[in-house]
Amino acid sequence: MVGSMGTLRIVAGAKRGHRLKVPKEAGLRPTGEKVREAVFDVLGPVAGLRSLDLFAGTGALGLEALSRGAASCVFVEADPAVAAVLRGNISTLGYEQATRVIVADYRRAAGLLAAPAPAFDLLFLDPPYRMLQDVEVALSPLLPGLVTNDGLVVIEGSRASRVSFGQVVVFDRLYGDTRILMVKMGRECL
Protein backbone atom coordinates (compact mmCIF):
# COMPACT_ATOMS: atom_id res chain seq x y z
CA MET A 1 0.00 0.00 0.00
CA VAL A 2 1.24 3.47 -0.87
CA GLY A 3 1.73 5.74 2.13
CA SER A 4 1.22 9.48 2.35
CA MET A 5 2.33 11.57 -0.59
CA GLY A 6 5.08 14.15 -0.98
CA THR A 7 5.78 16.19 -4.10
CA LEU A 8 8.59 16.87 -6.51
CA ARG A 9 8.66 19.45 -9.31
CA ILE A 10 9.48 19.21 -13.01
CA VAL A 11 12.58 21.40 -13.42
CA ALA A 12 12.31 22.69 -17.00
CA GLY A 13 10.52 22.49 -20.31
CA ALA A 14 6.84 22.59 -21.20
CA LYS A 15 5.72 21.33 -17.77
CA ARG A 16 8.22 23.32 -15.69
CA GLY A 17 7.04 23.78 -12.11
CA HIS A 18 4.34 21.09 -12.32
CA ARG A 19 4.34 18.83 -9.29
CA LEU A 20 4.69 15.06 -9.24
CA LYS A 21 3.23 12.96 -6.47
CA VAL A 22 5.79 10.92 -4.56
CA PRO A 23 4.61 7.98 -2.45
CA LYS A 24 6.38 7.75 0.89
CA GLU A 25 7.59 4.19 0.37
CA ALA A 26 10.55 2.59 2.10
CA GLY A 27 13.35 2.47 -0.44
CA LEU A 28 11.71 4.79 -2.99
CA ARG A 29 14.23 7.52 -3.74
CA PRO A 30 13.22 9.78 -6.63
CA THR A 31 15.99 11.67 -8.38
CA GLY A 32 16.07 15.11 -6.79
CA GLU A 33 15.46 18.31 -8.70
CA LYS A 34 19.07 19.56 -8.54
CA VAL A 35 20.47 16.24 -9.77
CA ARG A 36 17.89 16.05 -12.58
CA GLU A 37 18.73 19.60 -13.61
CA ALA A 38 22.45 18.72 -13.70
CA VAL A 39 21.78 15.52 -15.69
CA PHE A 40 19.74 17.33 -18.32
CA ASP A 41 22.27 20.18 -18.51
CA VAL A 42 24.87 17.56 -19.46
CA LEU A 43 22.53 15.73 -21.85
CA GLY A 44 21.64 18.89 -23.71
CA PRO A 45 18.67 18.88 -26.10
CA VAL A 46 16.53 15.73 -25.87
CA ALA A 47 13.86 16.84 -28.36
CA GLY A 48 12.56 13.93 -30.40
CA LEU A 49 14.43 11.25 -28.44
CA ARG A 50 12.79 7.98 -27.43
CA SER A 51 13.47 7.19 -23.78
CA LEU A 52 13.19 4.27 -21.38
CA ASP A 53 12.95 4.82 -17.60
CA LEU A 54 13.70 1.29 -16.37
CA PHE A 55 13.30 1.85 -12.60
CA ALA A 56 10.64 4.51 -12.97
CA GLY A 57 9.21 5.00 -9.49
CA THR A 58 7.47 8.39 -9.72
CA GLY A 59 8.65 8.83 -13.32
CA ALA A 60 10.71 11.92 -12.49
CA LEU A 61 13.48 11.24 -15.03
CA GLY A 62 11.25 10.16 -17.92
CA LEU A 63 8.70 12.91 -17.28
CA GLU A 64 11.49 15.48 -17.15
CA ALA A 65 12.67 14.20 -20.55
CA LEU A 66 9.13 14.51 -21.96
CA SER A 67 8.78 18.03 -20.56
CA ARG A 68 12.00 18.91 -22.38
CA GLY A 69 10.73 17.57 -25.71
CA ALA A 70 11.49 13.85 -25.80
CA ALA A 71 9.17 12.10 -28.26
CA SER A 72 8.19 9.25 -25.95
CA CYS A 73 9.01 7.34 -22.80
CA VAL A 74 8.41 3.78 -21.68
CA PHE A 75 8.29 3.50 -17.89
CA VAL A 76 9.01 0.23 -16.08
CA GLU A 77 7.96 -0.09 -12.43
CA ALA A 78 7.73 -3.39 -10.54
CA ASP A 79 5.48 -2.22 -7.67
CA PRO A 80 1.82 -1.98 -8.78
CA ALA A 81 0.97 0.64 -6.12
CA VAL A 82 3.89 2.87 -7.16
CA ALA A 83 2.95 2.30 -10.83
CA ALA A 84 -0.53 3.63 -10.03
CA VAL A 85 1.04 6.85 -8.68
CA LEU A 86 3.24 7.01 -11.79
CA ARG A 87 0.17 6.70 -14.05
CA GLY A 88 -1.43 9.53 -12.08
CA ASN A 89 1.65 11.71 -12.65
CA ILE A 90 1.58 10.93 -16.38
CA SER A 91 -2.12 11.80 -16.55
CA THR A 92 -1.69 15.02 -14.56
CA LEU A 93 0.96 16.18 -17.05
CA GLY A 94 -1.09 15.04 -20.05
CA TYR A 95 1.49 12.63 -21.46
CA GLU A 96 -0.72 9.55 -21.90
CA GLN A 97 -0.22 9.51 -25.71
CA ALA A 98 3.59 9.63 -25.47
CA THR A 99 4.03 6.99 -22.78
CA ARG A 100 3.64 3.34 -21.91
CA VAL A 101 3.82 1.92 -18.39
CA ILE A 102 4.97 -1.67 -17.90
CA VAL A 103 4.42 -3.15 -14.46
CA ALA A 104 7.12 -5.81 -14.29
CA ASP A 105 10.55 -6.67 -12.96
CA TYR A 106 13.28 -4.80 -14.88
CA ARG A 107 14.82 -8.06 -16.21
CA ARG A 108 11.53 -9.26 -17.66
CA ALA A 109 10.71 -5.85 -19.13
CA ALA A 110 14.18 -5.42 -20.66
CA GLY A 111 13.95 -8.88 -22.18
CA LEU A 112 10.58 -8.03 -23.73
CA LEU A 113 11.74 -4.63 -25.03
CA ALA A 114 15.11 -5.72 -26.46
CA ALA A 115 15.00 -6.18 -30.24
CA PRO A 116 17.34 -6.43 -33.23
CA ALA A 117 16.51 -2.77 -33.97
CA PRO A 118 16.90 -0.90 -30.64
CA ALA A 119 13.94 1.32 -29.79
CA PHE A 120 15.50 3.83 -27.38
CA ASP A 121 17.94 6.74 -27.69
CA LEU A 122 18.12 7.37 -23.96
CA LEU A 123 17.95 4.91 -21.05
CA PHE A 124 17.57 6.02 -17.44
CA LEU A 125 18.76 3.52 -14.80
CA ASP A 126 18.14 4.49 -11.18
CA PRO A 127 17.80 1.18 -9.33
CA PRO A 128 18.04 0.76 -5.57
CA TYR A 129 21.74 1.42 -5.07
CA ARG A 130 22.39 -1.98 -3.48
CA MET A 131 21.22 -3.62 -6.74
CA LEU A 132 23.36 -1.67 -9.20
CA GLN A 133 26.07 -4.29 -9.77
CA ASP A 134 23.46 -7.05 -10.27
CA VAL A 135 21.62 -4.77 -12.69
CA GLU A 136 24.86 -4.25 -14.62
CA VAL A 137 25.37 -8.02 -14.95
CA ALA A 138 21.75 -8.61 -16.03
CA LEU A 139 21.45 -5.70 -18.47
CA SER A 140 24.89 -5.45 -20.12
CA PRO A 141 24.14 -8.15 -22.71
CA LEU A 142 20.69 -6.64 -23.44
CA LEU A 143 21.78 -3.01 -23.93
CA PRO A 144 22.60 -3.34 -27.66
CA GLY A 145 19.00 -4.48 -28.21
CA LEU A 146 17.57 -1.62 -26.14
CA VAL A 147 19.65 1.48 -26.87
CA THR A 148 20.57 2.80 -30.30
CA ASN A 149 24.17 3.14 -31.49
CA ASP A 150 25.42 6.45 -30.04
CA GLY A 151 22.52 6.42 -27.55
CA LEU A 152 23.15 7.23 -23.89
CA VAL A 153 22.57 5.35 -20.67
CA VAL A 154 22.23 7.57 -17.58
CA ILE A 155 23.05 5.64 -14.39
CA GLU A 156 22.38 6.87 -10.88
CA GLY A 157 24.14 5.16 -8.03
CA SER A 158 25.85 5.67 -4.71
CA ARG A 159 29.09 7.60 -4.30
CA ALA A 160 31.03 4.30 -4.46
CA SER A 161 29.35 3.08 -7.69
CA ARG A 162 31.74 2.09 -10.45
CA VAL A 163 29.85 0.55 -13.35
CA SER A 164 30.09 0.90 -17.13
CA PHE A 165 27.73 -1.78 -18.47
CA GLY A 166 30.52 -2.72 -20.89
CA GLN A 167 30.30 0.65 -22.65
CA VAL A 168 32.36 3.84 -22.82
CA VAL A 169 31.90 6.11 -19.77
CA VAL A 170 31.50 9.67 -21.08
CA PHE A 171 30.45 11.37 -17.83
CA ASP A 172 31.15 10.62 -14.16
CA ARG A 173 30.31 13.15 -11.46
CA LEU A 174 29.36 13.23 -7.78
CA TYR A 175 26.40 15.23 -6.48
CA GLY A 176 26.63 14.84 -2.71
CA ASP A 177 26.27 11.10 -2.05
CA THR A 178 24.91 10.44 -5.56
CA ARG A 179 27.10 9.43 -8.49
CA ILE A 180 25.82 10.05 -12.01
CA LEU A 181 27.48 8.06 -14.77
CA MET A 182 26.67 8.28 -18.46
CA VAL A 183 27.77 5.64 -20.92
CA LYS A 184 27.60 5.96 -24.67
CA MET A 185 26.50 3.02 -26.72
CA GLY A 186 28.74 2.11 -29.63
CA ARG A 187 28.99 -0.83 -31.96
CA GLU A 188 32.72 -0.96 -31.32
CA CYS A 189 31.90 -1.79 -27.67
CA LEU A 190 29.98 -4.96 -28.55
**Cα(96)–Cα(169) distance, rounded to whole angstroms?**
33
Tens place of pLDDT per residue across the chain (190 aa): 444 456 688 889 889 989 888 877 656 777 778 889 999 999 999 999 999 999 999 899 999 999 999 999 999 999 999 999 999 999 999 999 999 999 999 999 999 999 888 889 999 999 998 999 999 999 999 999 999 999 999 999 999 988 999 899 999 999 988 999 999 997 544 3
pLDDT digits (tens, 9 = 90+) for 43-83: 999 999 999 999 999 899 999 999 999 999 999 999 999 99
Distances from the Cα of 6 to the Cαs of 27, 75, 85, 87, 96, in angstroms?
14, 20, 11, 16, 22
Contacts of 30 (CB under 8 A, 6+ apart): 8, 20, 22, 57, 58, 60
Report pTM.
Answer: 0.91
Half-sphere exposure of 16 (CA within 13 A, CB side): 7
User: Domains (ranges, CATH) in the chain?
Assistant: 5-189 (3.40.50.150)
Q: Where are the beta strands (DSSP E) in the chain?
A: 5-9, 19-23, 50-53, 72-76, 99-102, 120-125, 147-158, 168-175, 178-184
Three-class SS state of 62: helix
By residue count, the chain amounts to 190
CA-based radius of gyration for the chain: 15
